[in-house]
Structures are given as structure tokens and as C-alpha cells.
């Protein structure tokens, strides 16, 4: 007998004042990746059909419209109606999570409150959404960015062309997306942690932990459809390789530690057994290895790395060869 895994139930609540109808299909395509939209409600004043939410779009996507008149000019009654319904649904115990479709930061406290009740909260909105709301959700999806799907011809472009595309997307959307440099640093940290435990870092783990760390992380934000291509094109300090049928991630161009230690010891010996300034050691390494980064070896400071070399002594800025005990 086939066992069918039960899907998680979500309440999808849409703020029509802030979200255009052109995203209707994207909203429900995305929620299918997480579970089933058992509640589908949209809030607004239907006397003016705000943001193009016409009857045929609502019927096509089985969305229930909730009429909310603007009782007073300048007051957002829609927000209140959406919050009240969200709390009613929460205490009904019928859902496992919520999808709040809005770019309005007024819903930040609602997202936080739902998470306090162990609800999984997905936010969907445009890249103009304030950071407070994106961080309050377990996952936030930028609808305007994921709609720019990468076609097959684009993924076939030379690597250097795709790199420019990824960086250009980051520059275009500014603070709306997590900086690529920040993502690269996070991946390097994961690799170093795993190396300390003697573990290989697989691509699946990278994807999972990036999603946990950055609520809005999605390679589509940068013009990609696959994580492996995104990392290869935009993170030069990373190297991807095959382990059986899976991808693993390591550090690219990392100088062998033993070789590096020998070069440093030789440099100190050639300077009479001591170097008066740490910066001279760094300059010597960087001259031979321009891509050298101490973080690749699990250290935040060069002095800490040098202290780990048994033959060296570091006292302030002074680096010297340890005297052999007789």
C-alpha cells in the first residue's frame, strides 16, 4: 500500500492594496513548494478593483475576496481585516503555516506573532519590501525578482557573461537582496566548520543552511535557476566537485597549509630569525599568493594563524623562531 505524505496546510492572505494581480499565478506556484493553500483570501475594496484583481483572476485561482470599505480617507482598514482573519485562522488550529502576500511593513508584528505560535510564515512581496518584514518571516520571496525567469539560452551563456549578470542583478536591486559577498562568506564558514569535523560539505547542505540563515535567499533573485551554477559563477573563492552522483563544495585555490607554513618559516629565518611587524609577513605571502585569505584556513587574524605554527612565537607584532630546548 502506497503511503501518501500529508501536505502542510497554509493560509494564503493577500493584501490587494500592495500586490498586483500579475503575480497571482506565481503566488500559488510558489506555495505548492511548501504545502497546500487551504485558505485563499484577498482583502481590499472591490468597488475599485484595486491593482487589477478582476473576477476572472479570483475564480481561476479559487481566491475568496473579502470586501473592506475604506471607512475613513488615509486609514488602512484592509490591514485590520487581514490581521483579524489571520488570528481567527490561527486559533482554529486548521493550518500549519501562513503566507502573507504584501509589501507593507505594518504586517511585521503579525508575522512575528504567528511565528511565536510555531507557525511557519512565508512572506511574498516586491523587492521594495522593508527589511523588517522580510526578516520577520521564515522565508520571504521577492515576487518581482522570481518572475524574471532565466531562459535556456541565458544559462548557456559563457561563464563570464553570467557572472556579470549575477553581479548586475545584485547592484540593480541593492539592499533588497542579500549581498553575494555575504553569501560567499557564509558558505566558507560552513565549509570550515565541516572540515573541523572531518565532513565533506555537500551542495544540499549549503542550500538548506543558506535558506535558514537568509530568509530571502533565492538564486532566482540573482538571475539563476540552479544553486550550483550560481555558486560557480559568483563565488570565486569556492570550488564545486563531484562525489559520486552529488555535488560537494570546497575552497578554490587554497594553498596547501604545510607548504604555506614552510614558506613563512623560511621567510622568518631569512630575516635573521625574526620579523618585527606582522604586516611584513602578510605582504610576503600576498606577493606570492595574491588570492590568499586567512579566513580560508579558519582564522580571523593572521596572528592567530601564526601562533598555530609550532616553530613560531608571536609577541605583539614581533614574529620569531622559537629557540630549541636543549
* Confidence label for 228 from pLDDT (cuts 50, 70 and 90): very high
Q: Determine how many CB atoms are found less than 10 A away from the CB of residue 139.
A: 22
Please tell me the distance from the alpha carbon of residue 264 to that of residue 272, in angstroms, as a whole number.
13
Mean pLDDT score, 83-112: 96
Mean pLDDT of the chain: 84
Query: 73 pLDDT exceeds 70?
Result: no
What confidence score (pLDDT) does residue 14 get? Answer: 96
pLDDT per position as a tens digit, 269-310: 999 989 998 889 888 888 877 777 787 777 788 888 898 888
Q: Cα 84 from chain centroid?
A: 31
E strands, 62-174, are 64-67, 97-101, 120-125, 139-142
What confidence score (pLDDT) does residue 165 get? Answer: 52
Query: 221 pLDDT exceeds 60?
Result: yes
Tell me the domains of the chain and their CATH numbers. Answer: 9-146 (3.40.50.1010), 152-251 (1.10.10), 257-321 (3.30.420)
pLDDT per position as a tens digit, 12-34: 999 998 899 999 999 999 999 99
Query: 4 pLDDT exceeds 90?
Result: no
- For the chain, give me the number of helices (H) and strands (E)? 14, 11
Of 56-60, 66-70, 88-92, 268-272, highest mean pLDDT: 88-92
Comparing CA positions, the residue from 229, 237, 274, 230 lying closest to residue 253 is 237
pLDDT per position as a tens digit, 173-183: 555 788 999 99
* Confidence label for 1 from pLDDT (cuts 50, 70 and 90): very low
pLDDT per position as a tens digit, 55-66: 899 999 999 999
Least confident span in 127-136, 179-188, 222-231, 298-307: 298-307
Q: Determine how many CB atoms are found less than 10 A away from the CB of residue 204.
A: 12
Please tell me the distance from the alpha carbon of residue 82 to that of residue 14, in angstroms, as a whole number.
8
For 220-266, the DSSP string reads: GGGT-S-HHHHHHHH-TTEEEEEETTEEEEEETTPPPHHHHHHHHHH
Query: 76 pLDDT exceeds 70?
Result: no
Least confident span in 125-134, 161-170, 194-203, 223-232: 161-170
Contacts of 229 (CB under 8 A, 6+ apart): 155, 162, 219
pTM (global) more than 0.75: no
Tracing cell 575552497 back to the chain, one arrives at 251
Contacts of 134 (CB under 8 A, 6+ apart): 123, 140, 215, 216
Query: 324 pLDDT exceeds 90?
Result: no
First to last CA, the chain: 76
Amino acid at each position: 500500500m502506497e503511503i501518501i505524505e500529508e501536505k502542510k496546510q497554509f493560509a494564503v492572505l493577500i493584501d490587494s492594496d500592495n500586490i498586483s494581480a500579475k503575480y497571482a499565478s506565481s503566488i500559488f506556484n510558489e506555495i505548492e513548494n511548501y504545502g497546500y493553500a487551504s485558505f485563499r483570501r484577498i482583502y481590499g475594496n472591490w468597488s475599485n478593483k484595486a491593482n487589477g484583481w478582476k473576477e476572472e483572476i479570483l475564480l481561476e485561482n479559487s481566491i475568496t475576496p473579502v470586501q473592506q470599505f475604506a471607512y475613513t480617507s488615509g486609514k488602512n482598514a484592509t490591514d485590520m481585516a487581514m490581521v483579524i482573519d489571520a488570528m481567527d485562522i490561527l486559533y482554529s488550529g486548521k493550518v500549519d503555516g501562513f503566507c502573507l502576500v504584501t509589501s507593507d511593513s505594518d504586517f511585521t508584528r503579525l508575522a512575528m506573532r504567528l511565528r511565536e505560535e510555531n507557525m511557519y510564515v512565508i512572506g511574498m512581496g516586491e523587492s521594495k519590501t522593508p527589511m523588517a518584514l522580510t526578516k520577520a518571516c521564515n522565508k520571504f520571496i521577492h515576487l518581482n525578482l522570481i518572475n524574471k525567469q532565466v531562459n535556456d539560452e541565458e544559462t548557456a551563456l559563457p561563464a563570464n557573461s553570467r557572472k556579470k549578470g549575477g553581479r548586475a542583478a545584485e547592484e540593480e536591486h541593492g539592499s533588497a537582496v542579500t549581498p553575494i559577498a555575504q553569501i560567499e562568506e557564509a558558505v566558507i564558514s560552513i565549509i570550515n566548520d565541516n572540515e573541523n569535523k572531518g565532513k565533506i560539505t555537500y551542495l544540499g547542505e549549503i542550500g538548506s543552511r543558506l535558506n535558514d540563515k537568509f530568509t530571502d535567499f533565492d538564486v532566482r533573485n540573482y538571475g539563476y535557476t540552479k544553486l550550483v551554477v550560481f555558486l560557480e559563477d559568483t563565488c570565486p573563492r569556492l570550488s564545486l566537485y563531484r562525489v559520486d552522483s552529488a555535488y560537494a563544495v570546497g575552497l578554490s585555490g587554497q594553498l596547501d597549509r604545510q607548504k604555506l607554513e614552510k614558506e613563512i618559516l623560511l621567510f622568518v629565518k631569512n630575516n635573521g630569525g625574526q620579523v618585527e611587524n606582522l604586516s611584513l609577513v602578510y605582504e610576503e605571502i600576498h606577493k606570492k599568493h595574491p588570492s590568499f585569505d586567512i579566513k580560508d584556513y579558519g582564522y580571523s587574524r593572521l596572528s592567530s594563524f601564526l601562533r598555530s605554527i609550532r616553530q613560531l612565537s608571536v609577541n605583539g607584532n614581533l614574529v620569531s623562531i622559537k629557540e630549541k630546548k636543549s
